[in-house]
Amino acid sequence: MRFPRILVAGLLALAVAPAAQAAGDVDCKLHFTMSGWSAFYKTQQGSGTITCDNGTSMPVKISAKGGGITFGKSRIEDGVGEFSGVHSIRETLSTYAAAEAHAGAVKSSKAQVMTKGEVSLALAGTGKGWDIGVAFGKFVIEPR
């Protein structure tokens, strides 16, 4: 039995469309809250949710650790991170290299860009507390 060419072309288009969409970048965002302290060594912990424009989402726990010339105590609320270079939500999980300069008292803002191979993460948030210094270290995102 022979299928009409238009039917075959339509079935091929349906089969190829999801694969083509999966091959493209996915826009994913991290919404988070975290708090911590620093006295030469900096540590922060928190939690959040990663959501992507393809409908996937995942609750995560996050941590940041590093050293440098840094002192303070802070809390980031309503933080947002934007990933670039991601093909699936699983690629957002990992350890990112981080470097930052920060200064704030009572209410402060923070912005930071981190990388992990081809994937980049830009963080922004507002917080409470006080801190000053320069820190280098890692930012870890893992499933909750």
Written as tens digits, the pLDDT of the chain (144 aa) is: 443 443 333 333 333 334 334 456 899 999 999 888 777 677 889 999 999 999 999 999 999 887 766 677 878 888 899 999 999 999 999 998 876 655 555 566 666 778 888 899 988 877 777 666 556 678 899 999
Beta bridge pairs of residue 132: 71, 103
What DSSP character marks residue 55? Answer: S
Pairing, β 94-116 against β 57-84: unpaired
How far apart are the C-alpha atoms of 32 and 68, rounded to whole Å?
Answer: 24
From the number of C-beta atoms within 10 Å of its C-beta (0-12, 13-18, 19+), residue 34 rates as buried
